[in-house]
Amino acid sequence: MDLKNKNVLVTGSTRGIGLAIAKRFSQLGANVILHGRSQPSETVLADFPEGTPVILGDIADADTIQPVIQALIEEVGQIDVLVNNAGIVKDTLAIRMSSADFAQVVDTNLTGTFNVTQPVFKHMLKKRTGAIINLSSIVGLHGNMGQANYAASKAGLIGLTKSLAKEGASRGIRVNAIAPGMIDSDMTSQLSEKVQANIKDAIPLKRLGNADEIAQTAQFLIENDYVTGETITVDGGLSL
């Protein structure tokens, strides 16, 4: 798929990995639709063409977000690419984790992704074309202390990816996932130098990844028409 003039919806695209993917796809000629819980800043919007659409809403609330997605489809005519990036973390050890915190993370990261995907997937099936990328995590593959809720949600995304890939393949729809490792972000920048050094030492490439490297992987998954049902790990070798 050539991204030029394609309609691309990226959830959670007002910062971090989602913003990097949205910028890259826009630079490649795509008509990007941004999404967030609140209106993006003027600084964020400055990197996109004037009039770039923005949709708002909590993806965990199906009754709110699905009508927004349906209205968007009717307005633009077709969603060619969907990137499900929106997600949250609420970390603590499992023995201390409240049921509410477990449910909120799963409701946003996994159920929320389904809430956005379902109306888009139905539309793609009718059009017999489309590509979907779900942002999982190496935590979804290997687990992590203090992230039982996050790991469960990201592991669920991998199962969702494979199932949708099988359901959509006969109609030309490809569905893949990306599992980032330790990415330089607002969260990692708050860690002490010692903790950051220990993390880098555990990574074979001896550095954190960056959001642009995840965006490069997303571009590959859109442009390669013979890859579906895959989860690509981008972690500097951390999971070796």
| Structure confidence at residue 9 (pLDDT) | 98
pLDDT at 181 over 90: yes
Please give the Cα distance from 141 to 28 (Å, whole number): 31
Task: Find out whether 85 is annotated in a ligand binding site.
Answer: yes
| Structure confidence at residue 22 (pLDDT) | 98
Q: Which of 136, 150, 173, 236 is catalytic?
A: 150
Task: Find out whether 226 is annotated in a ligand binding site.
Answer: no
Q: Is 226 a residue of the active site?
A: no
| Structure confidence at residue 195 (pLDDT) | 85
pTM: 0.95
Q: Which residues contact 157 (CB under 8 A, 6 or more apart)?
A: 84, 109, 110, 113, 134, 135, 136, 140, 177
Q: Across the chain, what does the average pLDDT equal?
A: 96
pLDDT tens digits for range 203-215: 999 999 999 999 9
| Structure confidence at residue 210 (pLDDT) | 96
What domains lie within the chain, and their CATH numbers? 7-234 (3.40.50.720)
Q: Which residue has the higher pLDDT, 156 or 191?
A: 156
Q: Which residues contact 106 (CB under 8 A, 6 or more apart)?
A: 149, 152, 153, 156
Task: Find out whether 202 is annotated in a ligand binding site.
Answer: no
Query: With contact defined as beta carbons under 8 Å apart, do 161 and 135 qualify?
Result: no
| Structure confidence at residue 192 (pLDDT) | 83
